Structure 1
Amino acid sequence: MRVAFKRAGLIMAMAASAFVAVPATAQAAATAASPAAVCGADGYSYSVVASAPVKFSSGTVAGTVYLMYSSGNGKNCVVTVKTSYTGSATFTTAQLMIQNGNSYVDQGNYTSYAGPVRGSAAGKCVKYWGTINTGPDGQAGINATGGRMSWGNCG
């Protein structure tokens, strides 16, 4: 009876550790690609003010580029979230351009998103743009693009 009890305890411990590890990893991956979580890593809350599909010339969507705003710090934030090629490091960009001001870009070989890029645009208009390439260098693959290249969200 002593042996059976020890075995049962061991099985319970192994089952509990396996149960905890899987959901924590899946939840972290899902949270990491949330635009609000990505932009909010600076401790402020952001809301989506505009978004656009990032798509290939064929019309196939590879992700979404989000323009967000935080009233807490007065900043805009842009993040490009991949829905295709996730898990593969492909050249991905997020860009925020401020009228008569700075331009902010994050680019690199990312598995789920590019960004955040943040900037203050009080009293100015902004443009936002994102790309997702099918390859790791931004040259050999095919680009999916999206965003707004005209001034908007002025304020």
Structure 2
Amino acid sequence: MSVLKKTLAAGAMTVAATAGVVTISTAAYAEAYCGSGYGVVASAPVQNQYGDTWGRVYLTYNSSTGKNCVTTVKSAFVGTASFTSAQLMIQNGNSYYDQGYYVQYAGPLYGSAAGKCVMYWGSVTNPSNTIGAGGGRMSWGNCG
């Protein structure tokens, strides 16, 4: 997704938060970041070594296309560019990465995984690049 789209999405989320909307369903996250037809099949907090949660990484799946999608959504440092990453690994297949200095999220990453197992991971680093947070699953799962 282009930097412009990520900036626009971040702006939309900021406006929603400013308007008093404080909750969003995981299904809404899946569709907002990965598109129509995707549903969340797993997610994990992105936490630093002190147990602080700085985001959440989402693994979604579209049964009609057989594709998984991974997105790491920040909950800390939102609106400030900080190193953020998303990763999708497909067993006996490809690995996909998105990393950069993002204000809201990394991804979405798409990979064909019908009949295969996947691993997923996300990370967020503080703006001074001194502390990192990570989360996801580094073992094969969600085998379809």
Q: How much identity, in percent, do the aligned residues show?
A: 60
TM-score when normalising by structure 2: 0.79
- For residues 29-68 of structure 1, what are the structure 2 equivalents within 5 Å? 34-40=29-35, 44-68=36-60
Q: Which has the higher strand share?
A: 2
CA RMSD of aligned residues (A): 2.4
Matched residue type, 2:52: T
Aligned residues: 126
CA positional deviation for 1:142: 1.1
Secondary structure in 2 matching 1:34: helix
Q: Which runs of 4+ in 1 moved over 6 A?
A: 28-31
Q: Please give the per-residue CA displacement for 1:92-138, whole angstroms capped at 9, x wherever unaligned.
A: 001000001100011111001000000011111000000001036xx
Q: Which has the higher helix share?
A: 1
- For residues 2-151 of structure 1, what are the structure 2 equivalents within 5 Å? 26-27=15-16, 34-40=29-35, 44-135=36-127, 140-151=129-140
**Gaps spanning 5+ residues in structure 1: where?**
1-22
TM-score when normalising by structure 1: 0.74
Aligned to 1:152: 141
Q: Please give the per-residue CA displacement for 1:25-56, whole angstroms capped at 9, x wherever unaligned.
A: 7149989x93421111xxx3210000000000
**Contact 2:30–2:39 (CA<8 Å) still a contact in 1?**
no
**Gaps spanning 5+ residues in structure 2: where?**
1-11
**Contact 1:35–1:81 (CA<8 Å) still a contact in 2?**
no
**Contact 1:79–1:114 (CA<8 Å) still a contact in 2?**
yes
How far apart in 1 are the matches of 2:132 and 2:138?
16
Largest Rg, 1 or 2:
1
